[in-house]
Amino acid sequence: MACVEARGLRKAFGSTVALDGVDLRLSEGRIVGLIGPNGAGKTTALNAILGLMSYEGELRVLGRDPWRERDALMRDVCFIADVAVLPRWLRVSEALASLAGDHPRFDRAKAEGFLAKTRIAPGSKVRDLSKGMVTQLHLALVMAIDARLLVLDEPTLGLDLLFRKQFYDALLGDYLDLNRTVLLATHQVDEIEHVLTDLLFIDRGRIVFNHTMEEVEADYQEVLVRPEKVAEARTLQPLHERDSLGRTVMLFAGASRERLVSLGEVRTPTVADLFLAVVGGAQPAAAREGAAR
């Protein structure tokens, strides 16, 4: 069952093409990381999925057209755009009351339960809360909604390490189950990679990488190449090559494991390394220059 299905999704702002023909199919129950450099089209893609922006091409979210049916779609979808979109005048108690009033899937008791674990008082206004607490509040509200798709766009931007950890712990521990789909856009990759089931890289408005984590583990290997084997390793056409503490690290896709083991130490690449190889590889000049320094 497809949760999000896009075909030829395109969006241009004047002469700038933000989405350049995105084809995408996300199944339900997946936790998908949408990762891309700044200006790659992450937020545009999410805005289209959430019905906040018009688009060309075909797009269905939970079987609905998000641009035409945003309000109906929002019964089953919730999102955190980024930090600090909660209105500053809103009281915590008012947020709870009004969500209980007009959201059919909001469970007030659950939200109060989440809030009880924080230092947020029911009487406080959003403007009196710290940035981290506003995010906690927003997360508590969103987690109390029994939605089928949760979209997070840089949800922890500007938060310190502790809040970021708490955020993902809460999300993992209290929210995720098999029926929910999460689409998460971020560039703080290292914190989320153990959570994800699927990985999408977006660059210049196109999806340039779309694999499950199982596929990544099976097909992509990083080799810490022994100095004497570097020339031999290069003949295997690595996707990417970089220097790490004087050693050459190469990334291979679909190479035989036995062969790689003979070249050096083999490990599964981190999402960040993969991202640099796939997206950074598309800009070889800049990447090489960076590596040479």
- Site for another protein, rule CB under 8 A: 1-2, 47, 50-54, 60, 62-64, 70-76, 78-81, 84-91, 94, 98-99, 101-105, 138
Beta strands per DSSP E along the chain: 2-13, 16-27, 31-35, 56-61, 77-80, 149-153, 181-186, 198-203, 206-212, 220-225, 240-244, 247-253, 264-267
What number of other Cβ atoms are within 10 A of residue 283's Cβ? Answer: 14
**Phi and psi of 21, rounded to 5°?**
75, 65
**Between 77 and 249, whose beta carbon lies closer to another protein?**
77
Which DSSP symbol is given to 174?
A: I
In the bound complex, what is the minimum distance in angstroms from residue 81's beta carbon to another protein? 4
Distance CA 168, CA 173 (A): 8
**Between 2 and 208, whose beta carbon lies closer to another protein?**
2
Is 278 in contact with 261 (CB distance < 8 Å)? Answer: no
**Between 101 and 254, whose beta carbon lies closer to another protein?**
101
**Between 54 and 270, whose beta carbon lies closer to another protein?**
54
In the bound complex, what is the minimum distance in angstroms from residue 83's beta carbon to another protein? 10
In the bound complex, what is the minimum distance in angstroms from residue 80's beta carbon to another protein? 8
In the bound complex, what is the minimum distance in angstroms from residue 91's beta carbon to another protein? 7
**Between 52 and 272, whose beta carbon lies closer to another protein?**
52
How far does CA 107 lie from the centroid of its chain? 26
In the bound complex, what is the minimum distance in angstroms from residue 174's beta carbon to another protein? 19
**Between 2 and 172, whose beta carbon lies closer to another protein?**
2
Count CA within 13 A, CB hemisphere, residue 28: 15
**Between 94 and 193, whose beta carbon lies closer to another protein?**
94
Is 199 in contact with 185 (CB distance < 8 Å)? Answer: no
Which DSSP symbol is given to 286?
A: H
Bridge partners, 31 (sequence order): 182
Which CA distances in Å does 263 have to 217, 219, 222, 255, 268?
19, 17, 11, 12, 15
In the bound complex, what is the minimum distance in angstroms from residue 236's beta carbon to another protein? 43
Length of the chain: 293
Which is it for the CA torsion 268, 271, 273, 276, positive or negative?
positive
**Between 153 and 198, whose beta carbon lies closer to another protein?**
153
